[in-house]
Structure 1
Amino acid sequence: MTAPFGADVVAAVCRHMNDDHAGDSLLICRTLGGQPAATRARATGLDAEGMEFAVTVDDIEVPVRVPFAHRLTERAQIRQEVVRMYREACQRSGLPPRPAG
């Protein structure tokens, strides 16, 4: 099976997450990625099934993979799924999500 997202799409999504949503990535990795002690998270990749991060825990960088709720087949679904993960992470941690915008 061929991956639905090319290297250019993966790089653009990771760059956007790291530049504009680093805090969201950290929250996702702490709650959905099973790394509650993480102090930093950096998006490193994604495929149709999930997103990959490099997470810093106790000054050591470890890989974390957070699965998507369902298999993605189109680029537009990536944003929807990351927003879903962010909202789920907020709910699990008791934080109010930012308003959509």
Structure 2
Amino acid sequence: MSDPITPAISDRICKHMNEDHSNAIVLYAKVFANVSEAETATMESIDPEGMNLSITVKGETIPVRVKFDHVLKDSEDAHHTLIDMVKKARTSNS
């Protein structure tokens, strides 16, 4: 079994996403938070029910909560869910 989503795991996931997948976070903001004007976005935290993003729109930072379609079991579930979400976002944003 994978790691439960603790604050330390949340920090690890957010650091990885912000450093390596910033475009995916902007897609989450545009598609799942319905902020189509999002210019940049960072993942602030993740928990079993959703993720908290900071989105920049026209120079203003807006905090947004994106809920998952299910409660995450662990960090592996988070990994697969985030990948599935970016695939869905790419399809609906094209």
TM-score by length of 2: 0.92
Provide structure 1 residue ranges, at least 5 long, that are not aligned to the other structure: 95-101
After TM superposition, what 4+ stretches of structure 1 lie above 6 angstroms from structure 2? none
1:64 equivalent to 2:78? Answer no
Count of residue pairs brought into register by the alignment: 91
Percent of aligned positions that are identical: 27
Q: Identify the structure with bigger relative contact order (alpha carbons < 8 Å, sequence gap 6+).
A: 2
Measured against aligned partners, the alpha-carbon deviations of 1:58-95 in whole angstroms (never above 9, x if no partner) come to 1110011111110012111011000111011011112x
1:32, distance to aligned residue in structure 2 (A): 1.2
- Give the residue type in structure 1 aligned to 2:93: S
Provide structure 2 residue ranges, at least 5 long, that are not aligned to the other structure: none
The structure whose residues are more often helix, as a share, is 2
TM-score by length of 1: 0.86
Q: Which residue in 2 is equivalent to 1:98?
A: none
1:6, distance to aligned residue in structure 2 (A): 1.3
